[in-house]
Amino acid sequence: MRCVGLETCTRALSVALAEDEEILLDVRDRDEHPRAHGIWKKFLEACRDAGYGLEEIDCVAVGTGPGRFTGIRAGVALGMGLRIALDCPMRGASSLDVLAYSVGDRASSGETVVAYLPRPGSDSYYARSYIWGKDGPIPQNDIEWLKEEALELLGRRSTWTVGPDASRKTDSGAVTAWPRAAELVRWVTSDVSRPWQVFPLNYMMAPKVHPSDKGDS
Query: Percentage of the chain surpassing pLDDT 90?
Result: 58
Q: Are 185 and 59 in contact (CB under 8 A)?
A: no
Chain segment 68-79, per-residue pLDDT in tens: 888 888 999 999
Tell me what the mean pLDDT of segment 162-185 comes to.
Answer: 83
Tell me what the mean pLDDT of segment 150-175 comes to.
Answer: 82
Residue 215: left (phi > 0), alpha (psi -120 to 50), or beta?
A: left
Give residue 79's pLDDT: 92
Tell me how long the chain is: 217
Domains of the chain from N-terminus onward: 2-95+179-204 (3.30.420.40), 96-177 (3.30.420.40)
Q: Where are the alpha helices (DSSP H) in the chain?
A: 36-50, 69-86, 95-101, 148-156, 181-190
Read off the DSSP letter of residue 100: H
Residue 51: left (phi > 0), alpha (psi -120 to 50), or beta?
A: left
Residue 27 predicted with pLDDT over 50: yes
Residue 205 predicted with pLDDT over 90: no
